[in-house]
Structure 1
Amino acid sequence: MSEEEVVYYGAPTLAGLKTGNLMSCPYESRQKTMDELRVLNDELVPKGICLYPLRFHKGRVLVYMFRPSFLQRDLSDKRAWEILDAAGYSRCDYSSCMMELIRRLRSCKSSEFFPHEIGLFLSYPPEDVKGFMEDPDGCKCVGTWKVYGDEQAARKMFDSFNKCTDIYCREWKRGTKLSKLAVKI
C-alpha cells in the first residue's frame, strides 16, 4: 500500500473532514502489506489517524483509515446506536464495534458484501444509513453515499471532499510529505 493510495483514497480523513475512508488495494504478500501499514501508522498515529486491515480477499486488502476520536463521537450518536443495536451490535466502545464489523466482513464469502451499517464508520449521516437500509432505491441524490436526508448539506460535503482530494493529490505530487498533509486534531 503506497502513500499515494493513502492520499488519493483518504484525503478527507487526513484533512479531518471525515471520520474514515475505505481503500481496496492489491497486495502480493500479507506480511509485506502488514509491514507497510506499520510504517504508515508510525507516521499517522501521532496525527490521530490509524490504518487497519479489515479483510484480505482474493489478492486485495480492504483497509480502513480512520480517526478513532471521530469514530467514538460518531458511534455515540443516539441515532447511530439505534441502527447498530437493531443490527445486533453490543453497546460498547468503538473498538468493539470495529471488531464486530470486521467479523461480519470476514464471514461473508463475497468481496462485494458490505454490511449497511458500515456507513456509520465513514461519516455517513445516520438518517442516510437508515434510509439506505429501508429503501435503497429511494434516495434524493448520490455522491460519496446515497442521500435520504439533507441533500443540500450532503452536496456541500461531497464538494468539500472532492476539493480536498484534488488539493491533497496535487500537493503530494509536488512533494509534500504525508506527515505534513495529515492534520493533527
Structure 2
Amino acid sequence: MEIMLAREFMKKIMTSEQRHYMMNMITYNISPTLKGAKPATLITLSNNNKGLYEAWLKYGKEYLETVGIEAFELVHSADTVIILFYYKEILDNHLNKNENKSFLNSLGYDLHMTLHEKLNLLRQRYVKYQCPHEIGLFLGIPLKDVLGFLRWQGRECLACGYWKVYENKERALNTFKSYDSCKAEFAKLYLEGVDLWSSVRYINLTTDKTEFL
C-alpha cells in the first residue's frame, strides 16, 4: 500500500509546475519530521532535479511560512543547497539528552552551546568533512548506531534502511516503517487533492512530538 502510494505520488507530482513540485516534494520527504517521528530531515535541492535549487531561491521563504518549520542551510553552492529541516524545540531537546550531548562534546561542541551555535559548527564540519558522523544524531539516528558505524566503518550491520543498524534491530525496523507511513500519509492526502497547508495542519494535529522532547 505504502509503495503504491509513493509511486502514484511521484508519477503525479512529476507533471506539476516548479513551485508546486518543490513545495510538495519537500513536504513528502520531511513528513516524518512534521509528524514528530524524526527530529530533523536533511534534503539536497539541485537544479538537476526540475530546477529545485532555483525554486528554493524563489519560493523557499513562502514554503517555510506555509509549513511553519525551521530550515538551516548546511551547504550552498552555485546550483545546489543542502538544508536541514527541523522544529527548534524538538531538535534542541533531542541534542541535549545527556548521551547525545556528551558525544557532541567529544567532537568539539561546547556543553553550553545554543542550538543555533551547534548548527553553525555542524555547517563548518559538514564543509570540512562532507558528512561528519554527528549528523546522524541531528537526524535521529540512535547514538549506538552512530558509534557502531564508526567502529565498523559501515560494515557488519544488522540491517540497512534509513541508516545502518548496529543495535536493537527490531526497534530500527519499526522506525523505518513509521517513516514510510508518514510519507504515505502525506502522499494519500496529496492524491486526494488536499492543499498543502491543510495537509500539514492535518499531520500536525494527528502527531505525537513527545518522543524527542
Q: Does 1:131 align with 2:148?
A: yes
Secondary structure of the structure 2 residue equivalent to 1:116: coil
Name the residue aligned to 2:92. 72
Name the residue aligned to 1:140. 158
Name the residue aligned to 1:94. 115
Offset at residue 155 of structure 1 (A): 0.4
1:82-122 deviation digits (Å, cap 9, x = unpaired) = 221111112222221111111122345xxxx2101001111
Offset at residue 81 of structure 1 (A): 1.4
Report if the CA contact (8 A) 2:45-2:53 is conserved: no
> TM-score, length-normalised on structure 2?
0.75
Structure 1 CA distance for aligned equivalents of residues 136 and 196 of structure 2: 26
1:103-160 deviation digits (Å, cap 9, x = unpaired) = 122345xxxx210100111111111112112222132111111111211111001011
| Aligned alpha-carbon RMSD (Å) | 2.1
Matches within 5 A, 1:53-72: 53-57=73-77, 59-72=79-92
Structure 1 CA distance for aligned equivalents of residues 178 and 56 of structure 2: 30
> Which residue, 115, 139, 144 being the options, matches 1:122?
139
Q: Which has the larger radius of gyration?
A: 2
Offset at residue 30 of structure 1 (A): 6.9
Report if the CA contact (8 A) 1:131-1:148 is conserved: yes
Structure 2 CA distance for aligned equivalents of residues 74 and 30 of structure 1: 29
Distance 1:101 1:168, change over 3 A: same
1:25-81 deviation digits (Å, cap 9, x = unpaired) = 114697863442211111222xxx212222123522111111111111111111111
Identity level (%): 24
> Which residue, 14, 33, 49 being the options, matches 2:56?
33
Count, aligned residues: 178
> Which residue, 38, 43, 47 being the options, matches 2:66?
43
Report if the CA contact (8 A) 1:140-1:151 is conserved: yes
Structure 1 CA distance for aligned equivalents of residues 175 and 29 of structure 2: 16
Bigger drift between 174-183 and 88-97 goes to 174-183
Structure 2 CA distance for aligned equivalents of residues 69 and 125 of structure 1: 19
